[in-house]
Amino acid sequence: MLASGSAPSLICMTPVRHANPAQRRHAASARRDGALNRLSTITRGIVVASLAAVGAMGIYVAKALPGHHATTTTSVSSGSSANSGGASSSANTLNPPSSSPSAASTPPPVTSGGS
């Protein structure tokens, strides 16, 4: 006669001791599918939360740092100008030259600062 408290242990152990290989494969497959489903759900949640956070941050920054009253930032092409000073992607920043100036080795034909 078994004590009533031992019954759950026996019920739990029984499939392990008596399951055939096919049943074990089926159980393992079920556990794997369940884990993959949980992982997929978590991944989807993270993606949705990230997108929501990026959107909220964008709205916050747009309100905190308003630009001037331009209704659009589309630049205007004009005539044959191909690389005007204001039409580049870095138009509203001040950037150093791609190569620093050097000491001149020839007499200067033009002068800056005297007119």
Residues in contact with another protein by CB under 8 A are: 67-88, 90-115
Q: How far is CA 16 from the centre of its chain?
A: 45
Please report how close the Cβ of residue 47 comes to another protein at its closest, in angstroms: 35
Give the C-alpha separation, 86 to 74, whole Å: 12
Residue in this structure with the two tokens 């138009």, named with its chain if needed: 91
Please report how close the Cβ of residue 70 comes to another protein at its closest, in angstroms: 5
Please report how close the Cβ of residue 59 comes to another protein at its closest, in angstroms: 21
Longest dimension (CA), the chain: 113
Nearer to another protein, 6 or 83 (CB): 83
Please report how close the Cβ of residue 90 comes to another protein at its closest, in angstroms: 7
Nearer to another protein, 4 or 112 (CB): 112
Give the C-alpha separation, 40 to 36, whole Å: 6
Nearer to another protein, 5 or 86 (CB): 86
**Helix, strand, or coil (residue 19):** coil
